[in-house]
A and B are shown apart, each in its own frame.
Chain A
Amino acid sequence: MKKEDPNKRRKFLSKGLQFGLVATAGGIALTKYLSEPAAAESEDTVELMTTDGTLVQVPKSELHDHSQAKDGYNVREGFPGKKFVMVIDLARCKNALKCQESCNKNHYITGENAWLKVYKMQDSEAAAPYWMPTTCMHCDKPPCVTVCPVDATFKRKDGIVLIDNERCIGCRFCMAACPYSIRVFNWNEPEQPEEIKNMPPNPDYAGMPSIKGTVDKCDFCPHMIHQGELPHCVTACPNGVFFFGDKYEDTVTNGAETFRLSELLKNKAGYRLMESLGTEPSVYYLPPVNRVEPFEQGLEFYDEFNSVKKTKES
């Protein structure tokens, strides 16, 4: 029998050791990877898909049951002693569309027509073009409410016009009556996640869920006002275009700047859209003078035929 080559043994051992070390390191790394998803389930969460196709884990505590509100709050009367107004500064709007994205995402809008649309406007050929975001005007003389045959859409004391999606019969007369083309219709079953579809409908949180065969529109986010927060479009805008507040306090804010409403409108010549129709909108516009950014910047994001970004599947 030949004597075993000591070098061979050493080589074997060294290789074995190296391999073992690497394997151990890899094994540790592997267990880390594998254990991660398990650790994430430590809190009671729910998996939801957002409108842009990403899966998010949302803690169950964050899914608010908005049917509960403070005592004495009547969803058809609204917040007592307040009247909500919005001011949109057209001089600042550059069509970033963050407002539309936030509104679509937070209301789970999955149709082909957004509730908040930013129009490319040009009043006449020689006039300058500008971007004009439109929300529901929450008119003080709402033609939509006047024509509703079943009291499904209603005007509250706090100025907000809402829709009771459990009452709506889908006649679409309100859509014909609105001169601002604000309202959208659920022509088919909305493609919302199961968790959203099973929520009890609540006029204070429009679109949660959306119901087939009924009308939807911007709601001025009463669900955010309940928490003392501004509507989603106001906070999402990177340029501070949207101001929101209580007319009885004569104050509006975009989250960063706060002004007296009467002064703002006087100093910047605020006006309302289609004033001569006599609808008395609650949304004021500040004219597009001394533009912050040139109009052309917004063309990059302008999509003439799409206002709701679809998920990757569709």
Chain B
Amino acid sequence: MKTPSPFYIKTLFSVLFALLFIGQTQAQKKERLRLSVNHFSVIDQEDYLNILARYKGESGYEPVSGISLEIFQVLAEDSLISLGNIDTNTDGIAKFIIKNKRAHVADTVFDFSYLVQFEGDDKFRSADSDISVSALGLTASIEIIDSIPHIQAKMIDPKTGEALTEEPLRVRLKRLFKPLIIGEDTYFTDEEGQISVAVPGGLQGENGQLDFEVVLDEHDTYGTVISHVTADFGIVPTDESTFNSRELWSPAGKTPVFMLIFPNLLIFGIWFVILLSFRNLLLIFKSKNNENN
């Protein structure tokens, strides 16, 4: 067969080259967005998805803020039902509270499946991430054993009522910025799916209130599950501030007493004489020469 003429070869290469170039410009522009999703279940409160959107920049992972994500629940036969939209904040994080979810589907490995989808924009390609979790029964309570309060928790599968053993739980105390871990880092549930952790003494809380959490962290089946239990045996902290007392460093309205008394006495005493002197000057001015020189 005759080899194709140079004309065709050149044209072919040009077309291929052009397409590649166009394709590259599209592909070069758009970054790959990475979504990571964690499911949180706070017993008797709310379930939510914690979504982090990042991309790999020159100096490591950078958050992607202000992008819109759509959250779906995945039902039978991969049908999707939209649960809502959310935007990521400056740190690239979105906390999506799950409302109106459909009942769990029977005969599936997991109870609930969700899909987080990003449509794509000028900067980033479209991306999605899915997560599936099952419901967990986690109860936490406080028992006094040997006059020491203990945090106790029990983990069961809510469908079968069966206790879940050898699962890692953590006990934390809610604090202002980050929670304080009580006891060891991890406690494994025993044959009855229970743990019991002694609460160290001397914990302080506003009005004596202590807000404990029993946490199952990032479990493959259940996601992250948190169960709260509040106690009131905390120590009420004493107000150490000197704000209300009269100190050297207090504002003008709270001068120490000796500083109010002594200097003011001096000032008034001295100025009384000064003003008296000025009055006397006036008297001198006013007195006419009643007497002869």
Which residues of A are at the interface with B, using a C-beta cutoff of 8 A? Answer: 10-11, 14, 17-18, 21-22, 24-26, 28-29, 32, 36, 39, 43, 59, 62, 76-77, 81-83, 140-143, 145-146, 151, 154-159, 228-230, 244-251, 253, 255, 258-260, 262
Q: 4 closest pairs, A vs B, by CB? A: A248-B237, A145-B249, A21-B18, A253-B178
Residues of A with C-beta under 8 A to B19: 25
Whether B177 and A245, one on each chain, are in contact in the complex, defined by CB atoms closer than 8 angstroms, is yes
**What residues of chain A lie closer than 8 Å to B65, measured between beta carbons?**
59
- The reply to whether B251 and A258 form a contact with Cβ atoms under 8 Å apart is no
Q: Which of B6-14, B33-41, B109-117 contacts A (4 or more CB under 8 A)?
A: B6-14
Known contacts A246-B176, A249-B204, A260-B180; decide if A14 and B249 are in contact (CB<8 Å). Answer: no
Residues in chain B near residue A143, CB distance under 8 A: 249
Given contacts A151-B252, A251-B176, A59 and B66 within 8 Å (CB-CB): yes
Identify the closest chain A residue to B237 (Cβ): A248
Contacts of A251 in B (CB 8 A): 173, 175-176, 180
B15 touches A21 (CB 8 A): yes
The digit string for B202-214, where 1 denotes a CB below 8 A from any CB of A, is 1111100000000
| Contact in complex: A28, B25 (CB < 8 Å) | yes
Residues of B within 8 A of A43 (CB): 66
- Shortest CB-to-CB span from A199 to chain B, Å, is 18
Check B175 against A83 for contact (C-beta < 8 Å): no
- Alpha-carbon distance between A303 and B19 when the two chains are bound, in angstroms: 53
| Residues of A close to B21: CB separation below 8 A | 22, 25-26, 29
- Interface pairs (6), CB distance under 8 Å: A18-B14, A141-B248, A154-B251, A250-B202, A251-B175, A262-B202
* Cβ contact within 8 Å between B175 and A245: yes
Residue in A10, A24, A26, A229 whose beta carbon sits within 8 Å of that of B7 in the complex: A10
Residue in A closest to B19 when the chains form the complex, CB atoms = A25
Q: Which chain B residue has the least Cβ–Cβ distance from A32?
A: B25
Query: Given A157-B243, A245-B177, A258-B181, A62–B90 Cβ distance below 8 Å?
Result: yes
- Contact call A250/B203, Cβ cutoff below 8 A: yes
Contact of A36 (CB < 8 Å), options: B122, B203, B237, B251: B122
* A residues near B204, Cβ cutoff 8 Å: 248-250
Is the Cβ of A244 less than 8 Å from the Cβ of B177? yes
Q: Which residues of B contact A10 (CB under 8 A)?
A: 7
Contacts of A21 in B (CB 8 A): 14-15, 17-18
Instruction: Establish whether residues A32 and B202, one from each chain, have CB atoms under 8 Å apart when the complex forms.
Output: no
